[in-house]
Structure 1
Amino acid sequence: MVGKLLMRGMLAGVVAGLIAFAFARVVGEPQVERAIAFEKHAHAQGDAPELELVSRETQAGLGLLTGVVAYGAAIGGLFAVTFACAWGRVGKLGARPLSAWLALAAFVAFMLVPNLKYPADPPSIGDPDTIGYRTGLFFLTMAISVAIMVLSLNVRAVAARRLGEWNGALAGLLAFVMMLAVVLAVLPDIDEVPAAFPATLLWRFRVAAIGVQAVIWTTIGALFGVLAERSELLGKRSRHTARGASPATRAF
């Protein structure tokens, strides 16, 4: 089953990459061009700009397309493996709801939370000497975010048994927000934005960067759910589970 789901996940990832490429070209690339123009203007008043190893046309075209499609395929494959591990172990969720919830959780844990503390920066921002440090902090925040989400789900499960499903969900959400707030407050800040850099441009670039990820995860969550639902193996597994369940369980 995992092999067939993996192919479906990669297919969903490729489609997500194509859609994300279109989004990035329309929404993201204009902000990159403006940031590069700002950088060139700054260099005109100081040191000479570095020589481009790859042309902007290639970066914004074939390079961007190749990058997002390859990224989407890889993410889609990992998503399919995660789905296969979760299928049948998280209650009575069907393929589409499970896929949607997994995609939402992944987007929040892997992208939204790290970007709240260490958002993406356009060209002309950031010290080249701190790239490794900033990258390490970003992935550290990602790992902590995943751990906090897992802990919050455990809190929700315990609270749900004592207080009911709705109150348990609120307890889990509250635990997630509180732990996350403490971690984000403790992690070191990084502020390398030049004072003269346009605030509106910075905001639009960061929104576009998160938007690309939102497009990828939304497409994977929606499309993979449809593809997985049509999988004969999932259907057989569901029927087998139903036959093995008690009459009281089947009623639900």
Structure 2
Amino acid sequence: MPSTSVRALLVRGMLAGLVAGVFALAVAYLIGEGPVDAAIAFEEAGSHEHGGEELVSRTLQSTAGLATGVLVFGVAIGGIAALAYCVALGRIGRFGPRATAALVALGALLTVYVVPYLKYPPNPPAVGDPDTIGQRTTLYFLMIVLGVLLAVAAVITGKRLAPRLGNWNATVAAAAGFVVAVGLAFVFLPSFDEVPKGFPADVVWEFRLATLAIQVTLWTVFGLVFGHLAERLLAPATAPGSTGAPTATTTATR
């Protein structure tokens, strides 16, 4: 792919990530802040240390701080996903720009979030032992790396099996191998259960559902927006006044 097209896709990916971040921000504010406030209230009720002044107010954290974090994250993952799209386009099957964008978004959601989420689900404030935060963070990122590598291996395996088994059977076999490999990682990696005694179970559940909804919204919107922008860039242009037959010039050369 020409470097000009890669740059154009990178810019569009970051733009799509920004748009997706706006939608994810709305979800985070509407359904994510409630469980966080409940967790903070539980933490404060059980704390006997009332000295010291809060460096950043809760109001600022839930508005400007939340917006900054989510939008910057959206732009960053949009750029990374756009680069992954450049690698995947034309190499994972006969999919057009929109379909490839949808598959990249789905793959990112699955490997970067769902797989680590199932092993190490996120916890609200006041949940988790501070002494194990380093180990938990390391293992979480290890699950992300494993998820991505296993997904890439599954795609390569499926493509190699396709000539012998057919596309459908090869896809099923590769997906089954991915699930088995992830399951083995779940079994052998350590687990953590650090919910404090008396902590409301519904708050943990609502917080985890909220984080999942944020990520699903983020990647769904990104896939739709980036797919549209990528198709406009890469699909053959239609000459004005023609009957709809594409010309040889693509929008990527604009």
Q: Which amino acid aligns with 1:36?
A: I
**Structure 2 unaligned runs (5+)?**
238-245, 249-254
How large is the Cα RMSD of the aligned pairs?
1.7
- Quick one: distance in 1 between partners of 2:30 and 2:191? 31
Name the counterpart of 1:243.
none
1:109 is matched with which residue: 108, 111, 116?
A: 111
How much does 1:239 deviate? 7.8
Task: Give the 5 Å matches for 1:49-128.
Answer: 51-128=53-130
User: Could you tell me which residue of structure 2 aligns to residue 245 of structure 1?
Assistant: none
Q: Secondary structure at the match of 1:88?
A: coil
SS at 2:145 equivalent? helix
Q: In structure 1, the residue corresponding to 2:191 is in which secondary structure? A: coil
Q: Tell me whether 1:220 sits opposite 2:206 in the alignment.
A: no
Q: Which residue of 2 aligns with 1:210?
A: 212
1:42 to partner: Cα distance: 1.1
1:2 paired residue number: 6
1:178 alignment counterpart: 180
- Post-superposition Cα deviations, 1:23-69, rounded to whole Å, max 9, x if no partner, equal 001110011011111111111xx444764221000000001001100
Where 1:181 maps in the other structure, the secondary structure is: helix
Matched letter for residue 235 of structure 1: P
Structure 1 residues 84-129: Cα deviation after superposition (integer angstroms, max 9, x where no partner): 2222222221011000001000110000000111111101111222
- Whether the aligned pair in 1 keeps the contact of 2:92 and 2:155 (CA below 8 Å) is no
Equivalent residue of 2:199, what SS? coil
2:44 maps to 1:40: yes
Aligned residues: 236
Deviation string 1:141-188 (CA, Å, 9 cap, x unpaired) is 111111111222223223322111111111011101111111111000
Give the secondary-structure state (helix, strand or coil) at the position aligned to 2:91: coil
Instruction: Check conservation: 1:2, 1:84, Cα contact below 8 A.
Output: yes
Q: Which amino acid aligns with 1:177?
A: V
**Secondary structure of 1:204's aligned partner:** helix
Task: Report deviation, 1:214.
Answer: 1.2
1:189 to 183, 188, 191: 191
Structure 1 residue 148 and structure 2 residue 150: aligned? yes
1:235 aligns with 2:212: no
Q: Secondary structure at the match of 2:8?
A: helix
Measure how far apart 1:235 and its partner are: 3.3
Distance 1:143 1:114 in 2: 9
Do the aligned partners of 1:14 and 1:72 also contact (CA within 8 Å) in 2?
Answer: yes
User: Which is further off, 147-156 or 209-218?
Assistant: 147-156
* Partner in structure 2 of residue 25 of structure 1: 29
Q: Distance in 2 between matches of 1:147 and 1:225?
A: 24
Letter matched to residue 122 of structure 2 = A
TM-score by length of 2: 0.88
